[in-house]
Amino acid sequence: MDLAALHLEMRRIFDTGATGNEALLKLIQFLVNLTNATSSAYFHYHSDGTLTAGPRAISKQASAWSTELLDELQAAAEKSCETNRLYTGHSGIYDAIAILAAPIGGKQQPQGAMSLALVIGSERLETFATILQLVAGLLLTIEISDTPNDIPQSSRDNAAIRLLAGNLACQDLRTAALHTAEEFASQPDISQAIIGMRMGTKKRCRLQALSGVAEFDPRSELSRRLEAAMDECLSRDDMLQCSADKGDALPILSPLLKLLHTSAILLLPLRAANGKVTGVIILCRPHTTIPADTEYLETFTKYAGAALSTIQAGDPGKLRGTKPHTWGRWLILTLLLSLTAVLWMPVDHTINAATTIQPIKHRFVSAPFAGVLESSNVRPGDLVSAGDPLARMDGREIDWKLNTLLAEQQKAVKKRDVSIATRDTPSAQMAKLEIARLDAQKELLTHRKQNLIITSPIDGLVITGDLRREEGSPLKIGQRLFEIAPLDTMLAEVAVPAADVAYFQNNMPAEIHLESFPSRTWQQPVVDLHPRSVVLDGKNVFIAEVKLDNPDGLLRPGMSGRAQLIGEPQYLWWVLFHRPWERLVTWIFW
């Protein structure tokens, strides 16, 4: 929206000498063009109390249903006049059309209303409501009679246009408040105007502008007393007044007469487009008499308050351009300072690495002698205790050999006895040695027969050794049959990346997270780091060992997960950016 063109058009309507319906129709057409509305109409009260339609403007696209739309505009005007507040609603013809109506003048009974129908897209309705109230405020400067053909221009035209159009061109709330105060102070019998605006949801006003004063101290006694008086007016939601010749004024207002060097003050609430009080204006008068025309001042402050509240709400971009607001710059600065403070916060430097659970020691069970495997009792994954049978060797061959040895032994005994009887001493000695040899072989076979069952040497888990398909096959002496590992203590092997090994420290805390138990965490210090790197998944890593107690037997060999090695605290910016910086240095200098 071109603010300069807006200002000039509003001035042109009244400065060209147009009066009556001509000026009113131009103002309505200006409103339609400004808001891109489908239609707008003015409604006024006759002396008989009926609300009658006056000049109107209807766009081409709305001409087909102009009669129904005019009825809706009049209904909205009647509701607005009944409540003496801005009316907003939707058309029954087309739901996308919003209907707005603003009352014109009159504290108790409005003189009429201005209605507006427009299609709302992504724009906020508050902006159009403010524009409608500002234009309706201009109609206060026109003296309206029962006959719309007789509408002479008021002597307050120029002041009203300067106030309303000037607010549209202001870039911030403080500037708009000062402009409004200066315009009020330029009115007859008003020596100074002071404006305060409500901040936040609390009923507290903050001083924004004093006419004739470019800068003021918000901590001075005058500022505090002015804000206290504004807070009182805000809480009462009504006009307050105080004069030097009356002793019934509120105690909070009396000191202001001396501080402001004035004879009378008038406090009026400033209202937004929705009727909510958003500020207070204090008017100082050099005379002790309060003007009778307070209705005009109250109505005029209503439209000035609508413009100020729109600027304060931070959505005046459709009216004032797209320059960034002061609060926006402060917000960006605050975010930057907060981000800087966060980046300098010390946090734990962690090394993330893959981990695998392994048993802390292994026991291998081998074939005690050469023979045939008769049966296998366990398979990998079975829990066994010390002494539990794992497999059984076939004893038939041993029985055969024992029977053969027994026959040979009896033969050797007979030979010895014959040699002794014939006094053949050498033969007797040879037979005796043969008997001793056969006794040794008998003891060996007997021992093997007694140990045909292969048992577990420790409590633990069978890791390898599935011999069910090997039953009946010959075994060699010392052949590895089973691998058993105890489960009371396990070892987490953490693959520390070579790029992070420089930050490794002995006994640094470690947190182990396993995929099998995502809700549990094991915390133990690192006990060892292998001095030599290994290649794992194509990357050089150093294996760090963490001992984990496993009293409940949940941990099993081969489980995988992630480990976090917690190092010394570092600044957050270093934790986030040291790795990219090191890669950049390596890329540049290598």
For 134-144, write each residue's pLDDT tens digit.
Answer: 777 666 655 44
For 522-575, write each residue's pLDDT tens digit.
Answer: 999 999 899 898 998 888 999 999 999 988 888 888 899 999 999 888 888 888
For 355-366, write each residue's pLDDT tens digit.
Answer: 999 988 888 898
Mean pLDDT within 85-104: 85
∠ Cα 40 42 48 (to 5°): 150
**What's the rounded Cα separation, in Å, for the pair 359 and 72?**
84
Q: What is the pLDDT of residue 281?
A: 93
Q: What is the pLDDT of residue 226?
A: 93
Q: What is the pLDDT of residue 143?
A: 44
**Tokens found for residue 94:** 């087309």
**What's the rounded Cα separation, in Å, for the pair 300 and 277?**
14
Q: What is the pLDDT of residue 122?
A: 58
Sequence-distant (6+) residues with CB within 8 A of 194 are 181, 207, 209, 210, 211, 226, 281, 282, 284
Query: Would you say 357 and 555 are in contact if contact means Cβ atoms under 8 Å apart?
Result: yes
Query: Would you say 117 and 40 are in contact if contact means Cβ atoms under 8 Å apart?
Result: yes
Q: What is the pLDDT of residue 543?
A: 93
Q: What is the pLDDT of residue 561?
A: 94
**What's the rounded Cα separation, in Å, for the pair 142 and 20?**
8
Q: What is the pLDDT of residue 68?
A: 78
The residue type at 522: W
Q: What is the pLDDT of residue 294?
A: 63
Matching residue, tokens 């006759």: 46
> Mind listing the domains of the chain with CATH numbers?
3-141 (3.30.450.40), 171-326 (3.30.450.40), 363-483 (2.40.50.100), 486-589 (2.40.30.170)
For 8-132, where are the E strands, in sequence order? 39-45, 51-58, 87-90, 97-104, 112-119
Could you tell me which residue, 92 or 225, shows the higher pLDDT? 225
Q: How confident is the model at residue 149 (pLDDT cuts 50, 70, 90)?
A: very low
Q: What is the pLDDT of residue 230?
A: 93
Query: H or E stretch including 242?
Result: strand 240-243
Checking if the pLDDT of 270 tops 80, the result is yes
Checking if the pLDDT of 332 tops 60, the result is yes
Mean pLDDT within 466-489: 87
User: Of the ranges 160-169, 429-438, 491-500, which is most confident?
Assistant: 491-500
Q: What is the pLDDT of residue 9?
A: 66
Q: What is the pLDDT of residue 48?
A: 75
Question: pTM here?
Answer: 0.41
Q: What is the pLDDT of residue 30?
A: 80
Q: What is the pLDDT of residue 521?
A: 92
Q: How confident is the model at residue 295 (pLDDT cuts 50, 70, 90)?
A: low
Q: What is the pLDDT of residue 152?
A: 37
Mean pLDDT within 95-114: 80
Q: Where is average pLDDT lowest: 34-38, 392-396, 433-437, 456-460?
A: 34-38
Q: What is the pLDDT of residue 353?
A: 92
Mean pLDDT within 361-379: 87
For 110-124, write each residue's pLDDT tens digit.
Answer: 888 889 888 876 566
**Tokens found for residue 26:** 């131009």
Could you tell me which residue, 438 or 201, shows the higher pLDDT? 438
Mean pLDDT within 504-513: 90
**What's the rounded Cα separation, in Å, for the pair 144 and 552?**
93
**Tokens found for residue 477:** 């002496």
Q: Where is average pLDDT lowest: 261-270, 292-301, 325-334?
A: 292-301
Q: What torsion, rounded to 10 degrees, do the Cα atoms 181, 187, 188, 194 define?
A: -10
**What's the rounded Cα separation, in Å, for the pair 299 and 109?**
12
Q: What is the pLDDT of residue 153?
A: 39
Q: What is the pLDDT of residue 154?
A: 46
Measured distance between the N- and C-terminal CA atoms of the chain, rounded to whole angstroms: 58
Helices (H), 375-424: 396-421
